[in-house]
Structure 1
């Protein structure tokens, strides 16, 4: 029977109606990722019911798709023997990531459930930093030593495939496990069975060092478009492989981290298990910068109070200037941070990047300035006011683009994370600049404005 996609409510109705046969048929047709998504949307007690309805081989795949909290909840509420079985069937890199996040007492307890060899493999993986190639890699790969004939490899491959993360690449090593070459599954199938691996392998193997940062690993995948990459140590010994699905997780993680940093926080401040005091501590410095910056902005307004009293219409355009400057500054900063992260911006060309983004700001400022000037003139009927608003908008947006580019590039040159610069710091600085530009321009034309 072919099912349409059922809503969580419809699945719950099957459970309430005790329609186990239809539920089993539906779950059998669903992809593990879809079942994992379903489990996240229904109550806890129903989650266990559905998970226990899955055959063990599919339950393992679903378990690997779940986030940390739900995975822990389900495993911790399963019968001991079944939990042990599922843990043993999970891929090495998934178990490593999961156990690495567990509290120490759970991590050691569940690690002891594994076979001795599996336990040692996990311990070896846990010794690598989480955000490195070693922390991403899995030990479940296909490799053969020199001398194997293609015929022998093809005979052994079906035995090895179920335990391997991927069989698209077959690696060739010497007796000391030094990486010597790689053969794609396609080339292996098409090759003469009597040839050896050395006859068909590629010796220019793209690989990553075990200590390479995960962002750099992601860039290698992006550059070459591979489905997997071998991980080696300094002596070029094959330690494991990284697959493209692991890199996709990295990209999502890094993007989330950068977005949080752009808001003046970081990824550690918005996850469960971190105290509110620590979250507040991480955010407070940037908010204090914003607080003192806005106090300075208030002082700027106070300094031009006479101009405001003389022409109340000047106050109408204060929020417009401040918000537009903040928007352009944040946009420029986001573009630069993203460019640095993806290596699309050469940080050594500091002034070239600033001039380019400043020119963009000038174009945006000129267009928005003309529109704002026309609106101010048509609304208030004061030509000089329109001129002040137009000039201020043009200068503010140009400066905003320059500042939004300069700050992250400069921080990056100083070895600081540029993602933390773009939130409160840039917008608050721009508030001060935009107000100063606006009221300075107004002071020059105040006589013309009053005459109108």
Structure 2
């Protein structure tokens, strides 16, 4: 039974340094050049002991998350059961061969089959045809076809296919669609699929559904896995504990290298589905004592103790550390994974670089959505129209107020515009050019904030730096626009008005663009969300005011 086997398996790669490289249907291993010249791609198959007498004196440790589960092994042979873990993306995923019925369906279907045919199979509950069709598509095509189905059809599809394959589809789908389809499943069906997911993916999926639905699903999940997920859900989503995995290899620091290797070699199947790059050494209380890279373990003398070859002061992160600290940690250290410890230094999990990079990408996408006015989370066209409309209106309504504020400045100088109608041509140019300069400053401030190069309280320094750049660029851009205005209307006065207005407004725009993200961050809000509208309003108001006020002062020269 796969669930029983997958719950106790880890794969160990020898002389490999896996980095996440996603392919169309599989994820391969990339080995950097700085590793040993002879980089064999052999897999060290290891299995943990089934019988207690084979286990030597490896003692249970609290964070190892195991329990006696006689039903998992041969009759009368207790096996230590760990929380379920599917093959991690760092490992190459091997497709299961198709059944005869699936192969028969594959002969009559092609990747070009219309998605409506998939909907028809779902309606007829034809699980073999569904799996045969989806498995021959690329990941992109699968996501496309699943996205075209109705919400009810997606949920029904997940209930029809094998739980293991349903878990694969959930990993590929956007989080919003996956959570929606998963929540509509029956609790027992959803629990079967949940067991096939990695621990961090389990917690992340349940965070995106209603708490009542999540608890109902956990009630139908085996107690060991349910307790593991509940433990992860206790951590905030933006902390290290909320993003860690609870599957890791930990051994007492007093054990010998040979004992640990023998233990691993004796348990091939039990570790086959785990991604292990480090062995964590712990004391009798379960506290992290050190870290042993797997390569060092295999190359160490057999009679040495784990304590003698481990890194005594390993880099670690607290479970309650904010995710920004995690980003900084992985930027500073080139590790595949970092151990996560509790307040009392007990080892509670591990953070994988691949997961941290994925989270960093998600945050970048969120900032981009916020900057473009997509508030309230991810938006997909498969969502209800009313929800999408209300989210957009919340942003657009604010922009109406801001634009009216800018337009009111023009109304104050109506007489000047009537006298020199050519000014109306240059008002949007001045506003737009200044806005572009300001957006450049916003981008630099957001980048420096993400890298930790500046702090919110350093806005004075930012203004000083940006004002110099703004003055240089403003003079150059103002001179170009002024010359064009002079040549167009043969009016030196008009050229001086629009040129000086653009130069001054550029200085204002870069100072505002550089400092607003810092001030917004200091107030505790997302700088990407608030900087755009504030910058647009200020540049419009200042641009219109500067142009029209200077023109009013020089009106006698303009109409001469």
TM-score (normalised: structure 2): 0.69
| Farther off after superposition, 97-106 or 175-184 | 97-106
- The superposition leaves residues 53-89 of structure 1 with CA deviations (integer Å, 9 ceiling, x where unpaired) of 9776555333333334543566578898765443222
2:417 pairs with one of 308, 327, 337: 308
**Distance (Å, rounded) in 1 between the aligned partners of 2:157 and 2:247:** 29
1:419 Cα deviation from its structure 2 partner: 3.0
1:109 paired residue number: 216
CA distance in 2 between counterparts of 1:57 and 1:193 reads 39
Equivalence for 2:12: none
Change (3 A) 1:14 1:280: closer
Q: Which residue of 1 aligns with 2:65?
A: none
Following the alignment from structure 1 to structure 2, what is the Cα–Cα distance between the partners of residues 70 and 260? 18
Q: Tell me whether 33-42 or 317-326 shows the greater mean CA deviation.
A: 33-42
| Cα distance, 1:119 vs structure 2 | 1.4
Aligned to 1:125: 232
Distance of 1:251 and 1:67 partners within structure 2 = 16
What are the superposed Cα offsets for residues 245-273 of structure 1, whole Å, 9 maximum, x if unpaired? 32133213322332333345634485758
Distance in 2 of aligned mates of 1:112 and 1:372: 69
Match of residue 9, structure 1, among 106, 109, 112: 112
2:554 is paired with a residue whose SS is helix
| Greater helix fraction, Structure 1 or Structure 2 | 1
- Report the counterpart of residue 348 of structure 2 in structure 1: 239
Q: How many residues align?
A: 444
Pairing 1:48-447 to 2, within 5 Å after superposition: 57-72=164-179, 84-157=191-264, 158-164=268-274, 166-263=275-372, 266-268=375-377, 270=379, 276=387, 279=390, 283=394, 287-288=397-398, 290-447=399-556
SS at match of 1:433: helix
Of residues 174-183 and 405-414 in structure 1, the stretch that sits farther from structure 2 once superposed is 405-414
Asked if the contact 2:156/2:185 (under 8 Å) is kept, the reply is: no
Query: 2:447, 2:400 → 1: CA distance?
Result: 27
List per-residue Cα deviations over 1:398-426 (Å, max 9, x = no partner).
11000111222233344444334312222
Deviations 1:311-350 (A, max 9, x none): 2111110111112222322332232123213313344433
- What's the TM-score once normalised by structure 1's chain length? 0.84
Q: Closer, same or farther in 2 for the Cα pair 1:83/1:377, shift >3 Å?
A: same
Distance 1:405 1:440 in 2: 26
Q: Is the 8 A contact 1:27 1:54 kept in 2?
A: no
Aligned-partner Cα distance in 2 for 1:430–1:265:
22
**Could you list the runs of 5+ residues in structure 2 that have no partner in the other structure?**
1-23, 26-108, 122-126
Paired residue secondary structure (2:471): helix
Aligned to 2:143: 37
Taking the aligned partners of 2:480 and 2:386, their CA distance within structure 1 comes to 48
Change in 2 beyond 3 A, CA 1:61/1:291: closer
Contact 2:366/2:378, CA 8 A, preserved across alignment: no
**For the structure 1 residues 174 and 36, does the alpha-carbon distance in structure 2 shift closer, same or farther, using more than 3 Å as the test?**
farther
CA distance in 1, matches of 2:390, 2:194: 33
Greater relative contact order (Cα < 8 A, sep 6+) = 2
Distance in 1 (CA, whole Å) between partners of 2:520 and 2:189 is 51
Q: CA deviation at 1:182?
A: 0.8
Q: Secondary structure at the match of 1:181?
A: strand
- In 1, are the aligned partners of 2:485 and 2:494 still within 8 Å (CA)? yes
Give, in whole Å, the separation in 1 of the partners of 2:504 and 2:185.
64
State whether residues 337 and 350 of structure 2, in contact with CA within 8 Å, keep that contact through their aligned partners in structure 1: yes
- Could you tell which deviates more after superposition, 328-337 or 130-139? 328-337
Query: What's the RMSD between the two structures over aligned residues?
Result: 3.8
Provide the C-alpha distance between the structure 1 equivalents of 2:369 and 2:559, rounded to a whole number of angstroms: 46
Contact 2:200 2:243 in 1 (8 A): yes
Asked if structure 2 preserves the Cα contact closer than 8 Å seen for 1:260 and 1:267, the reply is: no
Stretch moving more, 65-74 or 147-156: 65-74
CA contact 1:14–1:22 (8 Å) conserved in 2: no
SS at match of 1:171: strand
